Chains A and B, each alone.
Chain A
Amino acid sequence: MRWRLWALVPAILLVGVVSATVAAGDSLDGLVGNAPPPADEFDVRRVEFAPGTISIHITNPQREHLTLAQVTVDDAIVPFSIDGVRGARTLGRLESATVSVPFFWVEDDPYAIGLISSTGIVTTHDVPAAVATEQPSLHGAVGLAVIGILVGVVPIALGLAWLPSLRRASPRSLAAFMALTAGLLTFLMVEALAEALELQARLPGALNGTGLVVLGVASSYLGLTLVASRLSGSGSGLGGVGLATLVAIGIGVHNLGEGLAIGSSLALGELALGAFLIVGFMVHNVTEGLGIAAPVADGAARVSPGRLAGLALVAGAPAVLGAWIGGFLTNDLLAVLFFGMAAGAALQVVVEVGRYVARRAPGGLTSGPVVGGYLAGIVAMYATGLLTA
């Protein structure tokens, strides 16, 4: 037992050293010269426009305390309340608050919101066009669900309709289509990773956005590895419907991120979602349906339509969930995590598909059809992606 008690000693020593350092405090500050004053800038997470009110969600991103003293809209000092209370308010490290400004804003006008600290430092946030923020409502939820289904479920179901023709394909062609699935997922993986890294750059540094990305990627990669081992059961490697399910899950997590992006862009008034854009997303996602159909076609067993519908839902329905989350609950931290997870999931499925193709393709992983199919998958995603740019 005694060794367990000894394990506590470093922890106790750490507590002691930390307390001593904190108590020493200022005398240590002078050792290496003067520190610059804190930047005293606010992190503006979100600006919402409701009838007669502008709401500004802010965070103190720095180590030191930060006091909000004045708020300006278009270079005019305005009365404001923070979390319902009038007057200045000091935010601790990483503390968030909502600033409420009674204001008759003009639809589509640009606005410059200024947040002035007690030290006179101004944080400016430019709103390119004031658009009423969609409030949580049944109407809004149904609308987002419809968009999610159109963009997620429908194209994948359409892609699955390729299944009968795929079943009649030669093993070489089928290997090419499997490689296409892998290429497609590689594209999705890199896209999701890029999005995650871009979003994390906007988080306060103290939250360690890069660490969140690593967490997201690792957790979904390992999570899907667990799912894969459960689905393959006999340990002979994943194939057929099992592999298709894994691909569907990977695509589903990615579509969660896509729905999140669409939902939050709509909520922030940054996205003009016209018919053209929806069609663009649909065409882009049809290839994903093909990617799920390919492993199913290669499997020996007959698959019921119910099962296929289930696969389509697994891959497509998360777009609805993502749209709801993005539309109603914008949270930058979650968005970074989601996109990291999407990247990790896609990576895991690429590895799984790669293993399958290495086993089953005539000519192996480096044969012409496989390489060509892989590249075709990337090209197809790129070309259809241009429609959604």
Chain B
Amino acid sequence: MRVTRRRLLAGAPIVASAPLAAMALTDAYGSDTHMMDGHLMSAADMAGMHASMIGDAVPAPDGPDLILEPPAGHEPGPVRSYELVATEKDIEVAKGVFYPAWAYGLAGGPPTVPGPTIRVTEGQRMRVRLLNASSHPHTIHFHGIHPSNMDGVFEMVDPGATFTYEFPAAPAGLHLYHCHATPLKKHIAKGLYGALIIDPKTPRPPAQELVMVMNGYDTNGDGANEFYTVNGRAFYYARHPIRVSRSRTVRIYLVNVTEFDLINSFHLHGEFFRYYPTGTTDRFEYTDTVMLCQGQRGIVEIDFKNTGHFMFHAHVSEFTELGWMGFFEVAD
């Protein structure tokens, strides 16, 4: 049989089928098991990982937690002073993702998002000196009762300048502070905010106290948040569950500063809590889910009956799956 060009061209499909037949014999895909971290896991195991990640398997930024524990309350003296410095800092908001944030920090300490918690007693003079070590003008606007020239709206603190906010702290409750320079969305969303605790003159009953500031990060500038966190880092408390004891009340100072989203929420698994809106009265709601808009805050008091790992997260499922979730590790 003479080999002509035509016959070769006609035979090409048959020749080409050989590697394809070989491919069919090796089962390249299609199995239900996967290799991850060198261990064979079934697909069911792996899909479950995502919904209930805890511990080392959780990808979350590392580093010390400077926000969870509030400063001690009821410090004696007529004045309680704080020195805050506003700087520009790149922070890791989710594992491997970095965001150029604007942050408050205590003088001599690192800047953090959210910023350091300011705590005073009702009636005590509150003195907060702001040094602007960044390249944009900033202010501090406190939620509370104070004169209008201490409000942080008209008096811009230029780069390099300082301003001291001083007034008697009122009212007792949980509040917040944030930058009020314009554009407003940008100065808040970039990270200039923190919690303000004004303790009532009669101290609250002793409890394990925690600060939780809920926020979000718009990393690509599209006017929507890509990540949601509590205390600044996505999935941090899933990787490092918060250890509490069921023999003492857990008191959470909960603040919402999430920009761009109308509401945020807090939901606790396996237990109910008393919720004191703004912490200004002793009337509470007994529930397991509360809704907060930006600027709303409240005191959450939990008396855990059982031990174990209890998830807490926003009951906006999208926020949960984008970083705003964690676990309580409740022991005796």
Contact = CB atoms under 8 A, between A and B. Distances in A.
B12 to A, nearest CB: 6
Interface stretch (A15-23, A50-58, A179-187, A346-354): A50-58
B243 interface: no
A127 interface: no
Contact of A118 (B20, B23, B97, B226): B97
A interface bracket (residues with beta carbon within 8 Å of B) = 35 or more
B50 A121 contact: no
A104 B36 contact: no
Contacts of B29: 50, 135
A52 B32 contact: yes
A310 B6 contact: yes
Given A86-B37, A104-B47, A317-B13, A120 B226 contact: yes
B40 interface: no
A324 B23 CA distance: 12
A246 to B, nearest CB: 11
Interface string B299-315: 00000000000000000
Interface stretch (B80-88, B185-193, B317-325): B317-325
B226 A79 contact: no
Contacts of A76: 50, 318, 321-322
B326 to A, nearest CB: 14
Contacts of A78: 50
B97 A51 contact: no
Contacts of B94: 69-70, 77, 116
Contacts of B262: none
A290 B37 CA distance: 60
B46 A79 contact: yes
Contacts of B96: 67, 69-70, 87-88, 118
B9 A317 contact: yes
Contacts of A67: 96
Contact of B219 (A50, A121, A310, A320): A121
Given A50-B29, A67-B96, A310-B6, A317 B12 contact: yes
A141 B98 contact: no
B148 interface: no
A136 interface: yes
B112 to A, nearest CB: 18
A252 B6 CA distance: 12
B291 interface: no
A360 B276 CA distance: 98
A41 B89 CA distance: 23
A67 B96 CA distance: 9
Contact of A136 (B12, B16, B20, B93): B20
B35 interface: yes
A103 B47 contact: yes
B34 A320 contact: no
A141 B13 contact: no
Contacts of B235: 77
A69 B24 contact: no
B17 A141 contact: yes
A317 B226 contact: no
A120 B217 contact: yes
A145 interface: yes
Contact of B20 (A50, A100, A252, A328): A328
B30 interface: yes
Interface in A113-163: 116-122, 135-141, 145
A27 B135 CA distance: 25
B72 interface: no
A251 interface: no
Interface in B199-219: 217, 219
Nearest to A309: B10
B59 interface: yes
B13 A51 contact: no
Interface in B29-79: 29-30, 32, 34-37, 43, 46-47, 49-50, 53, 59
B322 A53 contact: no
A210 interface: no
B24 A141 contact: yes
Nearest to B25: A138
Given A70-B97, A76-B318, A321 B13 contact: yes
B321 A77 contact: yes
B130 interface: no
A233 to B, nearest CB: 13
B10 A119 contact: no
B16 A324 contact: yes
A8 B226 CA distance: 55
Interface in A294-344: 307, 310-311, 313-314, 317-318, 320-321, 324, 328
Contact of B34 (A53, A77, A145, A249): A53
Contacts of A87: 59, 96
A192 B59 CA distance: 47
B269 interface: no
A314 B21 CA distance: 23
A314 B6 contact: yes
A77 B24 CA distance: 34
Contacts of A141: 17, 20-21, 24
Contacts of A70: 59, 94-97
A173 interface: no
Contact of B30 (A51, A75, A86, A328): A51
Given A53-B43, A141-B24, A313 B323 contact: no
Given A52-B34, A69-B96, 5 more contacts: A81-B36, A116-B97, A117-B97, A311-B6, A324-B17
Interface of B: 6-7, 9-10, 12-13, 16-17, 20-21, 23-24, 28-30, 32, 34-37, 43, 46-47, 49-50, 53, 59, 93-99, 217, 219-220, 222, 226, 234-235, 318, 321-323
13 contacts: A52-B34, A53-B43, A70-B95, A75-B322, A79-B50, A102-B34, A118-B96, A145-B17, A245-B6, A310-B6, A317-B12, A317-B13, A320-B13
